[in-house]
A and B are shown apart, each in its own frame.
Chain A
Amino acid sequence: AQTVTQSQPEMSVQEAETVTLSCTYDTSESDYYLFWYKQPPSRQMILVIRQEAYKQQNATENRFSVNFQKAAKSFSLKISDSQLGDAAMYFCAYKNSGGSNYKLTFGKGTLLTVNP
């Protein structure tokens, strides 16, 4: 079974600074998807960024980028120029690309605080 580990229960960053959230995962599969979701107090899970394992290039979405290290099974999220609206719970998630490829496995989350 796949597992996702987020080793940082809480992180804080100053507004306009850069922060990196860590995520590691365990799988025997070679093809899969990785995601970062943001959960603000509204509770809605919002997709931040997605990475396909067969792509070597790291995904980027505006101020959000990932460092995907397939051999190390590491998938960290970098938030540049942090804004107050980035404060939320961030979840790393894994999904197989074949077979039972509909289940998302989530980490326990990292609570990000942005200080003005």
Chain B
Amino acid sequence: GAGVSQSPSNKVTEKGKDVELRCDPISGHTALYWYRQSLGQGLEFLIYFQGNSAPDKSGLPSDRFSAERTGGSVSTLTIQRTQQEDSAVYLCASSYDRGRSPLHFGNGTRLTVT
């Protein structure tokens, strides 16, 4: 079956512009995660969605970052007024539930802010 799909694969934007990153999880997966991977760093947790529950937004680095998940499926991560420090790979993952099920990751979106 299809894996986690992210688009675009790469995005170059000018400082100050808004960007939207999309994630289409595996069908039937109720949990969805966004992580950020900066150059030479591990993965940094951003936000978590589980079913219809309120998302855990505790990892969002500033109020310029927001995310939504429509209909319990597709998710969009929005970064407003992008800054150069936002340049990173943004990875989305989904899992069957919040417990022992492993996370399945997409190929990420590489964001470059010039």
- Which of A's residues lie within 8 Å of B, judged by CB? 4, 33, 35, 37, 42-47, 50, 52, 91, 93, 97, 100-109
Contact = CB atoms under 8 A, between A and B. Distances in A.
B41 A43 contact: no
A48 B106 CA distance: 15
Contacts of B103: 45, 47, 104
Interface stretch (B18-26, B43-51, B72-80): B43-51
Nearest to A103: B45
29 contacts: A4-B42, A33-B100, A42-B107, A43-B89, A43-B91, A43-B107, A44-B3, A44-B106, A45-B43, A45-B93, A47-B103, A50-B102, A52-B100, A91-B42, A93-B43, A100-B56, A101-B98, A102-B50, A102-B56, A102-B98, A103-B45, A103-B48, A104-B103, A106-B42, A106-B43, A107-B42, A108-B40, A108-B42, A109-B42
Given A42-B107, A44-B108, A45-B91, A101 B99 contact: yes
Given A47-B102, A101-B98, A91 B48 contact: no
A105 B43 CA distance: 8
B33 A102 contact: yes
Given A102-B31, A102-B98, A44 B107 contact: yes
A17 to B, nearest CB: 27
B48 to A, nearest CB: 5
B105 interface: yes
Interface residues of B, number: 26
* Most-contacted residue by chain B among A37, A101, A102 (CB, 10 A): A102
Nearest to A9: B40
A54 B11 CA distance: 43
Given A33-B100, A52-B100, A97-B100, A44 B105 contact: yes
Contacts of B102: 35, 47, 50
B108 A108 contact: no
